[in-house]
Amino acid sequence: MSSFKTLRINHIALVVGELDAPLHFWRDGLGLALAQTEAVPEQQAEVAFLPVGESHVELVQPTTSDSGLARFLAKRGPGMHHVCVEVDNIRAALAHLKGLGFRLIDETPRLGHAGRQYAFIHPESAQGVLVELYELPPAGSQ
Amino acid sequence: MSSFKTLRINHIALVVGELDAPLHFWRDGLGLALAQTEAVPEQQAEVAFLPVGESHVELVQPTTSDSGLARFLAKRGPGMHHVCVEVDNIRAALAHLKGLGFRLIDETPRLGHAGRQYAFIHPESAQGVLVELYELPPAGSQ
């Protein structure tokens, strides 16, 4: 059996052309709090984080015109971009997926904000859905 | 202020052409349990439910060729179909959204399996994302 556990949906990410209209829907319409908005240079994007239960909604606005996100937005319009599931051992999860023959975008985790590790699985592996894996650092380690 | 609370992501729904390949990814690849598979005649679909944390992943396979789901699949291919957020008062949520001018698909809740109430918000309201609202019956009422 696999040596990792999938814990929860960490977030769903929606790609948007600008932040005002989706904030109006998710914050004013559905009552979610806007926890923060931050620039994410590695994704060439501005991201708004809205917690909901143990997950959050991420609104991702491309800030350049030539990133993967910007091309996704130009081609498909705004909408769902990816779903991120949190695991307790991202390296074990990636090795397990690779061993089953699933196509990965990142074969080793990338290091993101605040010590989190993340990796993307190719949408070919999940019937067109782009799935991100997260492993958060142990509580209190930051 | 609004008279309802948005509690959590109840589920994300993925539309698929058949269940074997996506089950291989989500169950065998990511280790989610397959809680149940059931026919949902009102959606003309077979649905597999895989819990993850306080949410679940729904794999939705159209069983006829002329439903909205089947047309979605034929037009766009498999992938994300909708995200469902659970609220504690669906009628208040719908009234609040309508009052803000958001376009709804269902202005009053529909009654689904096991006493749950649900309604869809038009994707025009949420930048191309189809959002479903759920209100579950009180625990112990079934």
* The predicted structure's pLDDT at residue A142: 52
Contacts of B77 in chain A (CB under 8 A): 128
Determine the pLDDT at residue A113. Answer: 81
CATH assignment of the domain containing A34? 3.10.180.10
Asked if residue A70 is part of any domain, the answer here is yes
CA distance A77 to B5: 29
Query: Does residue B122 fall inside a structural domain?
Result: yes
Do residues A57 and A26 touch, judged by C-beta distance below 8 A?
Answer: yes
CB contacts of B97 in chain A (<8 Å) are: 29-30
Contact A125 B25 (CB under 8 A): yes
The boundaries of the domain holding residue B72 are: 6-135
Please state the ipTM of this predicted complex.
0.94
The mean pLDDT value for B17-35 works out to: 98
The answer to whether residue A16 sits within a structural domain is yes
Return the residue of B nearest to A85 by Cα: B52
Percent of chain B's residues with pLDDT above 90: 89
- The runs of H, that is alpha helices, within chain A are 20-23, 68-76, 90-99
Q: Do B30 and A93 touch (CB under 8 A)?
A: yes
The reported pLDDT for the residue numbered A2 is 55
User: B131-135 and B79-87 as β-strands: parallel, antiparallel, unpaired?
Assistant: parallel
Query: Mean pLDDT across the stretch B49-69?
Result: 96
On chain A, the residues whose CB falls within 8 A of the CB of B125 are 25, 29
Q: With respect to residue A1, please indicate whether it lies within any of the assigned structural domains.
A: no
Considering only CA atoms, which of A37, A131, A127 is closest in space to residue A80?
A: A131
Beta strands in B1-142 (DSSP E): 6-15, 36-40, 45-52, 55-62, 79-87, 110-111, 117-121, 131-135
Model confidence pLDDT, tens digit, residues A70-80: 999 999 999 99
Cα B72 to chain centroid distance, Å, stands at 15
Q: How far is CA A80 from CA A54, A125, A129, A131, B77, in A?
A: 19, 17, 9, 11, 14
pLDDT at B114 over 90: no
Q: What would the pLDDT profile of A14-56 be if each residue is shown by its tens digit? A: 999 999 999 999 999 999 999 999 998 888 999 999 999 999 9
Q: How far apart are CA B73 and CA B105, in angstroms?
A: 19
Query: Token digits for B4?
Result: 């309802």
Domain assignment present for residue B140? The answer is no
Q: What's the pLDDT at A11?
A: 98
pTM for the whole structure: 0.94
pLDDT (tens digit per residue) in A91-130: 999 999 999 999 999 999 999 888 999 999 999 999 999 9
- The answer to the question of residue A140 being in a domain is no
Give A8's contacts in chain B (Cβ within 8 Å).
Answer: 52-55
* B55 part of a folded domain: yes
- pLDDT of B2 > 90? The answer is no
Average pLDDT of the segment spanning B116-131 = 97
pLDDT, position B137: 93
| Position B25 in a domain | yes
- Number of domains comprising chain B: 1
Q: Is A35 on the interface with B (CB under 8 A)?
A: no
Question: Chain B contact for A21, CB < 8 A?
Answer: yes
Tens of pLDDT, residues A52-72:
999 999 999 999 999 999 999
Decide if B44 touches A, using CB distance below 8 A: no
pLDDT above 70 as % of chain B: 96
Chain B residues whose beta carbon lies within 8 Å of the beta carbon of residue A52? 6-9, 85
Select from A2, A6, A15, A72 the residue whose CB has the most chain B CBs within 10 Å, as the one to mutate to test that interface.
A6
Mutate: best of A25, A30, A97, A98, partner B, most B CBs <10 A: A30
If you average pLDDT over residues B111-138, what whole number do you get?
95
CB of B19 less than 8 A from some CB of A: no
What's the pLDDT at A22?
98
Give CA–CA dist A45/A59, Å, rounded.
10
